[in-house]
Amino acid sequence: MRRADRLFQIVQYLRGGRLTTARALAEKLEISERTIYRDVDFTEVHFTRHLLSALAAENAELFGLVVQEIRTAWMARMKVLAAGLASRVVLLWLSDHAPDERAAGTSEGVEPLFVDREMLDALAPFVADVVEVVVSREEIAAGQDGLVYGDLDAPAARGMLGTVAHDKAAAALEPVLAGLI
């Protein structure tokens, strides 16, 4: 059995909410405990995107399945969240690209990850309105000037949309929210 297939089976087994041991997984998959430990050693993985990028490089087909699962789970959770709130909900798209421009891959800075127009359209019946705000590279750069952060936070701060984006979102949301009050 290929490593990618084993990893997929391990993830599917663990997704069921079952707690287990390496020995039990090894027996279930008919492999050694040592192989389980090698397969689930993610010490070289630093962030979720890194893990997703590693999976994409390892097996494009399984990566596609994981992406679809993430998208399906996000949709289900958003519907539950919208239905569970005791007021009307406005969904805000705030990004450096339009929802029609599906961002490829797991590259740094692509937000929201794996969410696209089709998903927003499917959520529209569950919310009062959908507001879309797309900020340009120039607006992102201008918004960096208003951020306050320490030297160690500089790399993360460069990935933020910045203050201009938030001002633009507030301006777009104001008439929509005023109409709901």
Q: Which residue has the higher pLDDT, 126 or 156?
A: 126
Name the residue among 93, 99, 95 with its Cα closest to residue 159: 95
- The mean pLDDT value for 1-5 works out to 79
Q: Are 36 and 22 in contact (CB under 8 A)?
A: yes
Q: With bands split at pLDDT 50, 70 and 90, how would you rate the model's confidence at 43?
A: low
Q: What is the mean pLDDT of residues 142-149?
A: 86
pLDDT value for 81: 93
Segment 95-135, tens digit of pLDDT: 988 998 866 566 555 678 889 999 999 999 999 999 999 99
Q: What confidence category does residue 159 fall into, taking pLDDT thresholds of 50, 70 and 90?
A: confident
Residue 104's CB is within 10 A of a number of other CB atoms, namely 7
Token pair for 13: 């087994």
Three-class SS state of 33 = helix
Is it the case that residue 46 has pLDDT exceeding 80? no
The 8-class DSSP code of residue 98 comes to: -
* pTM of the predicted model as reported, rounded to 2 decimal places: 0.71
Q: Which of 135-144, 152-161, 170-179 has the highest mean pLDDT?
A: 170-179
Rounded distance between C-alpha atoms, residue 48 and residue 145, angstroms = 28
The number of angstroms, rounded, from the C-alpha of 45 to the middle of its chain's C-alpha atoms is 17
24 burial (CB, 10 Å; 0-12 / 13-18 / 19+) is middle
Position 55 scores a pLDDT of: 81
- Condensed to tens digits (0 to 9), the pLDDT of residues 64-77 reads 888 898 899 899 99
DSSP output for 38-50: HHT--TT--SHHH
> What per-residue confidence (pLDDT) applies to 104?
59
- Going by pLDDT thresholds of 50, 70 and 90, the confidence category of residue 17 is low
Name the amino acid, one letter, at 159.
G
Q: What are the Cα distances from residue 50, in Å, to 55, 108, 113, 156?
A: 9, 9, 13, 15
Euclidean distance between CA atoms 9 and 12, whole angstroms? 5
CA distance 33 to 30: 9
Q: Among 17-31, 36-50, 70-84, 162-176, which stretch is predicted with the lowest mean pLDDT? A: 36-50
Q: What is the pLDDT of residue 133?
A: 96
